[in-house]
Amino acid sequence: MSSKKTTKFIPQEIGSNLTISDAESKGLTHLEQEYRLLFESLDRDANGLISINELLQIFRDIGIRNDDPRLVLDFDSTLPTGDTLDAKENDYPLNFEQFKVILQQSQGNLVKNAIQGNLIVPDFKNFRAAIKRIYEKAKANKGGHVATYIPQLGRVNPEYFGVSICTIDGQRFSLGDYIIPFCVQSICKPINYCIALEEHGEHKVHQHIGREPSGIGFNGLVLNSKGLPHNPMINAGAIMACSLVKPTLDMADRFDYVLDTWTKLSGNIRAGFNNAVYLSERQTADRNFALGYFMRENKAFPESTNLIDTLEFYFQCCSIDVTAEAMAITAATLANAGICPTTGTRVLQPNTVKNCLSLMASCGMYDFSGEFAFTIGLPAKSGVAGGLMVVIPNLMGICIWSPRLDELGNSVRGIEFCKELVSTFNFHNFDSLTGGQSQKQDPRLHRNQSKIDSVISLCWAASEGDVLEVQHLVARGINFNEADYDGRTAMHLAASEGHTKVIEFLLSKGAIPNPKDRWGNTPLDDALRGNHQSVILLLEN
Ligand code: GLN
């Protein structure tokens, strides 16, 4: 866990029930005004105090955990923080000055954005409910078998099922066995590839590894026409990537470096190591040794590579242990172009992440990669311990862990979860092309955003007399009788401004001629007020 600064608050008698116009007249800075607005939105009885529990609940509702490293919430050493906080017993009034310290000390406008609902998934409550439904559905699937090539994987409880999600704003949601560590196995491949890219750059790395799907199993004994492994997401390429990770350091430091990278990628949740898995991997590694010798015979390795060290290092990386919760944050760091959402730290360069996601999208799912790209359309990487790391660029990272695998080595529930996910949400890479015709939800939008956008566009076009734009919007299927907050429709606005052509057009499409706004006025009332004769004539008929 990260270390958190502690702020000791001394309660003061500072009221805050200022309106913005008061604030302006008192010459408050823009920032101060903004703080006041946020405070007042929470100060229901305008008594200059807000409830800590309410604030914490706002964070939790939008998916920001109370132990989020970006938040500074230690109001008082006597106040417990975190999800276990007992709302009623420990409530504590917070005045404006105290609230301001939380705003100022917390990282990256997080508090402000959470209060304003300005995080990437604004309606996190509904999103959570949908994910829970998908989880329950996938849980019923008992298909597949745990990996048995080493006893340590064969003994894992096949019923384990954890799902964790982290958005690029650090909104988190987890279900099931999300705090039980599992072995990353092949999911070490994209991370080691990233580390190699950061160290040597794309050109050098791809002098040793190709970037084409291989079309054969992940441990296939085959190289491309240049005698190089096909890509870094299969064993041969992953062994090669290992040879490029900090090759000048000694073995212990190389491993530490990889472990530290996992830790940073997952918001400082410390990655572990499963020694028994490592020992077993090493003992059953004939194929990986064969791949290593085959590549050495083809002079594929960088000069002065120690083959045995490289293979040992690869087995160690496969034996790194993480939780679904940590892996979801890692995936979110990739979704966020290399900046960890929960710490704000840049761990990888954007170009590195772009390269890695490109190869995850084409080669990340063993022999199911093409099928996965077609049906799911997201960069992902699976491992034989049942982990599946999915990245939705610019939106979120997801980890699904369920040990039963299908015949290709992918988690059965993991695949099922993804299928259900993309049939519910518009997450497939190319869903943007079918937007208009699709029933899929977009959690990125405010609940009524698309409706609000259309109403605003239509009313605006009507008040401008822009018949062409009105026609465009109607062609997109907008309901032209929809009203804004004040009950004003496109008919009202066109009538107020005397835009006869717009009125004609709307009436010809079947618009209601006499809707009432919140003051009881019809478009005819508006036309009479503006003395727009031709509109009056049209509407009176
Ligand atoms: N340790 C396994 C191997 O190298 C990892 C494979 C995997 O997850 N597909 O064979």
Q: Span 364-393, mean pLDDT?
A: 97
Chain centroid, CA 132 distance in Å: 16
Q: How long, in residues, is the chain?
A: 541
Q: Mean pLDDT for the chain?
A: 89
Which residues, in sequence order, are CB contacts of 248 under 8 Å at separation 6+?
Answer: none
Q: Is the CB of 312 inside a 6 Å radius of any atom of ligand 1? A: no
Domains of the chain, start order:
11-116 (1.10.238), 128-433 (3.40.710.10), 449-540 (1.25.40.20)
Q: Is the CB of 410 inside a 6 Å radius of any atom of ligand 1? A: no
- Res. 78 pLDDT band, cuts 50 70 90: very low
> What does the pLDDT read at residue 479?
84
* Least confident span in 116-120, 245-249, 326-330, 353-357: 116-120
Contact 523, 516 (CB under 8 A): no
State the alpha helices, DSSP H only, in 180-323. Answer: 188-205, 235-243, 251-265, 275-283, 286-297, 307-318
- Per the model's pLDDT, the better-predicted residue between 477 and 49 turns out to be 49
According to DSSP, residue 411 is labeled B
Element (H, E) at 322: strand 320-322
Q: Is the CB of 190 inside a 6 Å radius of any atom of ligand 1? A: no
Closest Cα to atom 7, ligand 1: which residue? 186
Ligand 1 centre to CA of 268 (Å) is 25
- Res. 84 pLDDT band, cuts 50 70 90: very low
Chain centroid, CA 119 distance in Å: 11
Ligand 1 centre to CA of 315 (Å) is 8
- Picking from 147, 182, 218, 183, the residue whose alpha carbon sits closest to that of residue 318 is 183
- Picking from 451, 431, 319, 469, the residue whose alpha carbon sits closest to that of residue 383 is 319
Q: How far does the chain reach from its first CA to its final CA, in angstroms?
A: 72
Q: Name the one residue in this structure whose structure tokens are 């259900």.
A: 420
- Picking from 97, 96, 120, the residue whose alpha carbon sits closest to that of residue 41 is 96
Q: Could you read off the pLDDT of 313-336 as tens digits, one per residue?
A: 999 999 999 999 999 999 999 999
- Per the model's pLDDT, the better-predicted residue between 72 and 424 turns out to be 424
Closest Cα to atom 4, ligand 1: which residue? 235
Ligand 1 centre to CA of 185 (Å) is 5
> What does the pLDDT read at residue 285?
95
Q: How far is CA 125 from CA 117, 329, 475, in A?
A: 12, 19, 33
Q: Has residue 273 got a pLDDT over 80?
A: yes
Q: Has residue 276 got a pLDDT over 60?
A: yes
Q: Has residue 13 got a pLDDT over 60?
A: no
Ligand 1 centre to CA of 299 (Å) is 23
> What does the pLDDT read at residue 464?
94
Q: What gap in Å lies between CA 207 and CA 191, rounded to an integer?
A: 19
Q: Span 88-95, mean pLDDT?
A: 72
Q: Span 432-454, mean pLDDT?
A: 77
> What does the pLDDT read at residue 93?
85
Contact 327, 191 (CB under 8 A): no
Q: Span 510-521, mean pLDDT?
A: 91
27-36, 80-89, 372-381, range with greatest mean pLDDT: 372-381
Q: Has residue 85 got a pLDDT over 50?
A: no
State the alpha helices, DSSP H only, in 390-499. Answer: 412-424, 449-464, 467-475, 490-497
Q: Has residue 208 got a pLDDT over 80?
A: yes
Q: Span 186-209, mean pLDDT?
A: 98
Q: Has residue 86 got a pLDDT over 80?
A: no
